[in-house]
């Protein structure tokens, strides 16, 4: 292995062990295994489809839109999602910083 490959492997290992990355992976697993979040995501997709199908039926469209907005708010304010988005932002900032240093 040359120096670049060694440095890249070391960087990859450090990133994998970073507390933010470890926590991000845990939160992602929690989200993927949470029944409420899975069902909410599926229902949101279904409501999007129903709103589109009823675009010319104002009453039905508004009914689906109200449910969609309520559910979307509940989904987006779920503690797992808030934590996930916060960690994702931190990791993106970290990777951008690394990219800037490398360039």
Looking at per-residue pLDDT, the higher value among 2 and 76 belongs to 76
Whole-model pTM? 0.81
Q: What are the tens digits of pLDDT across the range 50-89? A: 999 999 999 999 999 999 999 999 999 999 999 999 999 9
Tracing tokens 């916060």 back to the chain, one arrives at 86
Among 1, 5, 78, residue whose Cα is nearest residue 37: 78
Among 70, 69, 66, 79, residue whose Cα is nearest residue 37: 79
Which class is domain 3-102? mainly alpha
Q: What are the tens digits of pLDDT across the range 4-13? A: 888 888 889 9
Q: Cα separation of 83 and 77, whole Å?
A: 10
As a whole number, the mean pLDDT across the chain is 95
Looking at residue 18, its pLDDT comes to 93
């Amino acid at each position: 292995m040359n120096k670049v490959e060694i440095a890249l492997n070391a960087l990859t290992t450090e990133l994998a062990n970073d507390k933010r990355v470890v926590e991000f992976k845990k939160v992602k697993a929690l989200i993927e295994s949470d029944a409420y979040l899975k069902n909410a995501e599926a229902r949101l997709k279904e409501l999007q489809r129903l709103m589109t199908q009823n675009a010319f039926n104002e009453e039905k469209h508004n009914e689906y839109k109200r449910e969609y907005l309520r559910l979307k708010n509940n989904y987006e304010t779920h503690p797992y999602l808030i934590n996930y988005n916060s960690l994702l932002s931190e990791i993106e900032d970290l990777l951008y910083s690394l990219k800037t240093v490398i360039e």
